[in-house]
Structure 1
Amino acid sequence: MFKVKIFIFIACLTLATFANAMTIYDSHITKFEEEQLLVKEFPSNYIFETITDCSNDNDILVIENIFISPDPPRRGENVYINASGYLKKTVGFGSYVDLTVKLGLIKLLHQKLDLCEQVEKVDKSCPLEEGEQYLETTVTLPKEIPFGKYTVEAYVYTADEERITCLKANVMFKP
């Protein structure tokens, strides 16, 4: 849902790091080796090409649908996001997103973000009430995002450490 906005923000903040990491990444692992590692590391249920749903039956949010267009996203273009799901119970203040961003196999960022602050960016507010949830938004990806294969992992938890959901995204920005 709001993960794409988070990814955009992170990509802008780490441009210099990406350029240096790309050189290191290219010299240590082949594309085939990377693909094999990703398959082993991230067994998931694919929702579509870019985003995978790594949640389980015990999670609070049941993801029904996530649609992005274009898929995969492209640098410098608008990305339309439409998502729906069902919250099994109300999610309130203190909930957070445990976010990791990698370029290839190099971890660029690991950050804990306040969920309530993030949902405000897509015109929602806490507490998120039990029941059907919908999201429709458009974001513009900066054209300055460096080329490479990015992996974004977002694990979302309540203040009591109960898992709300899990999403992973794999995006390749090509020259």
Structure 2
Amino acid sequence: MVSFKYLALVSLIGSAHSLSLHSTFGYFNQALDLFRTQPDQSFVNIAPPNHDTEPIPGDSPLEKCDVAEVQLLTLEEINLLPNPPQAGANLTFTATGIVGKTIEPGAYVDVDVRYGFIKLIHQTFDLCEEIEKVDLECPINKGTQVITKIVEIPEEVPPGRYIVNARAYTKDDEYITCLTAIIDFPIVRS
């Protein structure tokens, strides 16, 4: 009987391809009820995590993520020119924010880049090394900071949807900020 229970649950998982994850989670709970599993026993929690975001003022696809968490950086404005970014064109990035505490060397940024559902990059960068590329240096002093950077977007960027997430932390693992963006590079027809 126990193996039938798990076989039924596996069948339910396999047939749920057209259902959302949240709906599938509801069906799991119903299936567990049918097999008289105790309600406090959880089989699998596949509900997506709560990714709370809010827009950042300005003209960019960037949003602040994990807004319920205390973060050291308050972003006042981010602008991209052009927005959306275009393959083969220069991109001007300008950001203004208020740093709530001096950020010392040893701070880092965890970056994830996905192409649709395919993870392209999962890497940790030294924040102080990266910040030098925008003419700042560590320590980053408490107070208002303005960053302007021009970068070249290669012409060879494959068309499609890119999802970028970046979470920055101090050397003591205090949350500096969380940024997320969805950027679509269209198919260029000649």
- Answer whether TM exceeds 0.5 for this pair: yes
When normalised by structure 2's length, the TM-score is: 0.68
Given that 2:60 and 2:80 are in contact with CA atoms closer than 8 Å, whether structure 1 keeps it comes out as no
The 1:67–1:169 alpha-carbon spacing in structure 2 relative to 1, beyond 3 Å, is same
The separation in 2 between residues aligned to 1:81 and 1:101, in whole angstroms, is 18
Partner of 2:104: 92
Give the match's secondary structure for 1:100: strand
Q: Could you tell me which of 60, 76, 79 is aligned with 2:91?
A: 79
Partner of 1:124: 136
**1:52 maps onto 2:94 in alignment:** no
Runs of 4+ in 1 over 6 A off after TM superposition: none
Identity value in percent:
39
The separation in 1 between residues aligned to 2:107 and 2:124, in whole angstroms, is 10
Given that 2:60 and 2:78 are in contact with CA atoms closer than 8 Å, whether structure 1 keeps it comes out as no
Q: Report deviation, 1:169.
A: 1.4
The 1:152–1:41 alpha-carbon spacing in structure 2 relative to 1, beyond 3 Å, is farther
Aligned-CA RMSD value: 2.2
The 1:55–1:61 alpha-carbon spacing in structure 2 relative to 1, beyond 3 Å, is farther
The 1:41–1:150 alpha-carbon spacing in structure 2 relative to 1, beyond 3 Å, is farther
Partner of 1:174: 186
Counterpart code for 2:55: Y
Q: Report deviation, 1:43.
A: 3.6
Bigger radius of gyration: 2
When normalised by structure 1's length, the TM-score is: 0.74
Q: Report deviation, 1:158.
A: 0.5
Give the match's secondary structure for 1:121: helix
| Mapping of residues 129-168 of structure 1, within 5 Å | 129-168=141-180
Count of residue correspondences: 140
